[in-house]
Amino acid sequence: MNSRRQKRVASLIKEELSRLLVEEYQNLFSGLITITRIEMSADLKSAYIYLSFYGQKKKEEILEVIEKKKGYLRKSIASKVKLKYNPKLIFSIDRTPEYEEKIEKLMKLVKKNEK
């Protein structure tokens, strides 16, 4: 369970990180990079950031680029979001949209076969 403070800090980080990703990386890649959610550790020292990529084939390569720039992103967030601790950024690909798409296709297939 996330506390109110965890949610508030996650929201602040998401807002600033979203801005940075659009400004810094959107032009490098032809698709859309979206932060689907951020989960904070209980001590607020780690931020688990889940990214979704639309129109991208090389998701792992994009994630690698973002991982390499993690220090810069962390420093930029720290300069805009005033917190006691500057959280460690942990990025991963959010597979939820892909799963939703597969489930939707399966549901359509089931409905088609029922008719």
pTM of the predicted model, to two decimals? 0.80
How many Cα atoms within 13 Å fall on the side-chain side of residue 66?
A: 28
Q: Domains of the chain, with CATH numbers? A: 4-114 (3.30.300.20)
Condensed to tens digits (0 to 9), the pLDDT of residues 54-104 reads 776 678 888 888 899 899 999 999 998 888 889 999 999 888 877 888 899
**Number of residues that this document lists for the chain:** 115
Structure-token match 């020292």, residue found: 45
Distance CA 40, CA 113 (A): 44
Residue among 109, 93, 111 at smallest CA distance from 101: 109
Condensed to tens digits (0 to 9), the pLDDT of residues 41-61 reads 999 999 999 998 877 667 888
Report whether 17 contacts 73 (CB < 8 A). yes
